[in-house]
Structure 1
């Protein structure tokens, strides 16, 4: 489909949404004046390596913790794996063509560590490097900013076998990996994100066990947070050492924390939870210190702190990536939860302002993106912010005409983008928005049951790509630099 046809379709969708007749999120998103974004604002889409690449055994790639986890019975819905996923390892040209049609400015993707270093250490796998060089060159030729994330949850299995993120050596291995990627691509990749959602891959991977590597060890989780924060700083320095002009940041999943009741105990619990999920990682990176949460006389022991770690942690990020989806409801939990002093119980994807739920069951709270950006600005100040993920699982099937009329996704995006613009008006220095996701993909433990893509992928028939109505709508947003 030609780009002008996409734009024409987007205009038609934009004018017709108000008549869609859906309640909740759709009604909340229509009937307001259009808003224009600042000149030079970057519009993008996002994916992650294990979720879209496939080619699990191609090109010298080694196994990651997600290969192991997804092949373990009972760990993912329907036993789904990322072995093939969207087959982007082979179909990357087609994906760039889709982005070109959309008119996006920036493509946030991740690099599979085990495709570069099959065991997480040693020399680079040339075939893996060549794949990412081709991808980056293709993006540049299309006029799209390549925006790679070095680590999006797929630790080489060999490093997990050696202790994983709780093992301090992993931070040193991250340094070597970052140097390899910088030497290969820092001459033409100007913006890098080091880690994606440290909170999630440490908490879900080592504390509650719901994601790879599936460990349920609260104290190992604490050490993992500290090692990952050190690894983030190490990679920052490695990238800058190769090219001091590149911009380096990381992506943090941030969420508003709401006390479950008006009790003072629940209010205090919400403050503690906010410290852990919103400040624990970014504050450590920007200041070299952690928020007051753990027992002061045990913090060094619990984290594996060493002399000089304050200086090791602290780096001046060039930008901060924010991923936003929903909020947390938090209760006080006197009996504890395995983390000293935390004493909370929390429910993810909940908001008292909810105007509906996604097909994943996540509460939809558009004003929440404004609220969390203002909250995080208290820490980040004038550092530029990029929205590195925001989107909704909407499993609307194709209609009788063969098109996928995902009006709820369009309404979700419209509402969040208008709240994002309100945050910019209120002084938050947001310079980019990356929609999650370009493609339907392997949604981690949920397998292929949830569809986040503005492009539908037919996993049963050769990964055929079909733009949804939301893709046409987003193309028009990009063209106009405005949301109607």
Structure 2
């Protein structure tokens, strides 16, 4: 290992005693039980049932069978020494139809799940929307239809009234970029559209639903802490040519500022608004004020930086990503760049009046395998976590107010359009037997968290 990859010394005692240590999961990726106890189809069920959409032709009808094995999974989380657990709530499991009918059995599942977290000393962090829109709403236009905002508010109201006595930390949306752009611009995710104008309208309605939900949660939940989790990327130009520098600014405008600016009261960035022209979203008076409601925290999902070059024949932004094959990468092809986390967090502190931040996702996919002796030797993932936590500590020492870290993910799962080809978990899942095996990375995380002071 060269000096740039030498593992830093890392101790839990160097972090604050009240620092949150967790893992993140999402409902569609782990629960399974697709037709069980009143759950109705989501857009991802429909997407996975469409030939050619999932790389390995799989679906999430069983996934990790978490709906039946949640106690075992929470036992694992407790055994690692976590003090927080981030999960998402399946809208199609809780609200049965376009009329907003509540499925009591589905709601009870999450009530039991939260009780299980609390019994194990895990602070519950609930994500209300992690991409699994009910198909009955997509049939009415999905997030392009402003009525979906009201449907989301009803969902949030039902959940928070039932669970708000036990859940104090709420994330309204996970990665609106993916909901809007991957779902409706490049078609990589459900519902699989390829319409830039639709994607921008979806983005606006998702952000609006966030803004309107924050005060609702605060009304329903005493001492609620409400935020949003954004997928953010530090960017660098492919060269020092003026056109690549300008392209990087444009890319930043849609990738990062299109979300950060309105959330912090600046409206959509004018340079990008002018660039997208007729594709700009339709808004009502008061929308931007609603979106800019103050946050209690900002969730930052960090995986990799992006390198940008000018691409005049690639509208609407006239940019493209470059790929340097000499850089260290995960099995997914993502650059491994721990210092990018420092760059990103410092930029957020410098450019925006950000509230306290939490790293709500950070992790890596590698080609894990179960060895004959029953072990899973994922030393690359272990080293990835060590290096990124050291970067997080560097950002904290530079004055960035980061108060917690959630590894992605607790267990291997259904990785969206990749199916089961990508493993991100600290825990290995044999998808045929559903056997759980702690990987080397999980054993390291456990030892790090439980090390004596």
Is the structural similarity TM-score above 0.5?
Answer: yes
Q: CA RMSD in A?
A: 2.0
Residue 416 (str. 1) matches residue 388 (str. 2): yes
2:267 equivalent to 1:286: no
Deviations 1:428-460 (A, max 9, x none): 110000000000000000100111111000001
CA distance in 1, matches of 2:357, 2:265: 17
The residue number in structure 1 matching 2:125 is 147
- What stretches of structure 1 of length at least 5 have no aligned partner? 1-22
Give the Cα separation in 2 of the matches to 1:420 and 1:121.
Answer: 45
Q: Contact 2:164–2:222 (CA<8 Å) still a contact in 1?
A: no
Q: Deviations over 1:71-130 (max 9, x none)?
A: 111000121111000000111100111011111011100001111113354131101100
Cα separation, partners in 2 of 1:297 and 1:29, compared to 1, 3 Å: closer
CA gap of 1:80–1:133, structure 2 versus 1, over 3 A, is same
Inter-CA distance 182–226: structure 2 relative to 1 (3 Å threshold): same
CA–CA distance in structure 2, aligned partners of residues 168 and 29 of structure 1: 51
Match of 1:118 in 2: 96
CA separation in 1, counterparts of 2:276 and 2:423?
Answer: 43
Deviation of 1:398 (Å): 2.2
SS in structure 2 opposite 1:321?
strand
Larger RCO (CA under 8 A, 6+ residues apart): 1
Q: Distance in 2 between matches of 1:473 and 1:183?
A: 38
Residue among 33, 41, 62 paired with 1:84:
62
Deviation at 1:32, TM superposition (A): 4.4
User: Pick from 362, 376, 382: which aligns with 1:404?
Assistant: 376
CA distance in 1, matches of 2:266, 2:114: 33
Offset of residue 312 of structure 1: 2.1
* Match of residue 5 from structure 1: none
Q: Structure 1's 470 and 121: CA in aligned 2 closer, same or farther, altered over 3 A?
A: farther
2:437 aligned with 1:466, yes or no?
A: yes
Residue of structure 2 aligned with 1:386, choices 352, 358, 378: 358
- TM-score norm. by structure 1 comes to 0.89
Aligned mates of 1:120, 1:103 — CA distance in 2: 41
Per-residue displacement from partner, 1:292-324 (whole Å, max 9, x unpaired)?
Answer: 233549869721012222222211110000000
In structure 2, the CA distance between the partners of 1:53 and 1:173, relative to structure 1 (3 Å rule), is same
| Alignment partners' CA distance in 2, 1:300 and 1:241 | 38
Shift of 1:481: 8.6
Query: Runs of at least 4 residues of structure 1 off by over 3 A?
Result: 31-35, 294-301, 379-382
Corresponding residue for residue 342 of structure 2: 370
Deviation at 1:256, TM superposition (A): 1.1
Matched residues in 2 for 1:102 and 1:165: separation? 38
TM-score, with normalisation over the residues of structure 2?
A: 0.95
SS at match of 1:460: coil
* SS in structure 1 of the partner of residue 21 of structure 2: strand
Unaligned segments of structure 2, at least 5 residues: none
**Which aligned pairs between 1:422-441 and structure 2 lie closer than 5 A?**
422-441=394-413
Structure 1 pair 166–324 and aligned structure 2 pair: CA distance change class (3 A): same
Give the corresponding residue for 2:449.
Answer: 478
**1:213 aligned residue (186, 191, 209):** 191
